[in-house]
């Protein structure tokens, strides 16, 4: 099948050309953590702060992607893998376009995170673990998912029916139990922003 594919990448603009126009180093900020840990909140806040600094950014969020690009996928191990694989491939395109992608996905285990890193490229990925315990996320329950999971209405719920492996080698850990949203955002911004300089 692949013998019939003929990519034209050699005829297209280089990423460095696009970065010259955008005046930024493109990166993928990949935030992982349990549902309710604060990923989406931090992603949208970081997007606004980077935009205010003149950066071209775009947020890829789990629920948004699952209502469009990945709407046909469920939550089996195979579907979770395909979900992350597609997101990583899209993120790689964003980076090649000279943009900053801010990703907010549970990404529950080390193998999925390693696959994303391999697809995007180690130098282009900033992995951020947004840390909060299952108990804290259950108390927050911002989407009402934990209540539904307790009633058995959300199959394969991460942290309950499906495991979550705490990342051991993330570039940055944001502990939202120990810090306010403002403190968390400051720490995240201070880590990411210098890495976007051309």
pTM of full prediction above 0.75: yes
Cα–Cα distance measured from residue 107 to residue 159, given in angstroms and rounded to the nearest whole number = 12
Strand partners, 101: 28, 58
Per domain, the residue ranges of the chain are 14-196
- Residue 103's nearest CA partner among 35, 191, 39, 168 is 39
Quote the CA–CA distance of 54 and 6 in Å, as a whole number.
Answer: 36
**pLDDT number for residue 21:** 93
What CATH class does 14-196 carry? alpha beta
Q: What is the C-alpha to C-alpha distance for residues 41 and 67, in angstroms, rounded to an integer?
A: 19
| Mean pLDDT per 10-residue interval, the chain, length 198 residues | 74 89 96 94 98 97 88 88 96 96 95 97 97 90 73 68 85 97 98 95
DSSP calls for 10-61: GGSPPHHHHHHHHTS--EEEEEE--TTSSHHHHHHHHHHHHHHTT--EEEEE
The reported pLDDT for the residue numbered 159 is: 61
Q: How many CB atoms lie within 10 A of CB 100?
A: 26
**pLDDT at residue number 146:** 64
């Amino acid at each position: 099948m692949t013998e019939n594919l003929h990519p034209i990448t050699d005829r297209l603009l280089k990423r460095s050309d696009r970065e010259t126009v955008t005046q930024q180093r493109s990166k993928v900020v990949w935030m992982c953590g349990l549902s309710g840990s604060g990923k989406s909140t931090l992603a949208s806040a970081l997007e606004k702060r980077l935009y205010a600094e003149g950066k071209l950014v775009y947020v890829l969020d789990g629920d948004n992607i699952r209502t469009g690009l990945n709407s046909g996928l469920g939550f089996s191990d195979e579907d979770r893998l395909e979900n992350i694989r597609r997101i990583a491939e899209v993120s790689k395109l964003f980076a090649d376009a000279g943009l900053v992608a801010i990703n907010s996905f549970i990404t529950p285990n080390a193998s999925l995170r390693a696959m994303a890193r391999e697809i995007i490229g180690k130098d282009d990925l900033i992995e951020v673990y947004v840390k909060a315990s299952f108990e804290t996320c259950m108390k927050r329950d911002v989407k009402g998912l934990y209540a539904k999971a307790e009633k058995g209405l959300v199959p394969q719920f991460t942290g309950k029916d499906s495991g979550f492996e705490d990342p051991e080698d993330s570039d940055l850990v944001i502990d939202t139990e120990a810090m306010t949203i403002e403190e968390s955002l400051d720490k995240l911004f201070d880590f990411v922003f210098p890495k976007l300089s051309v």
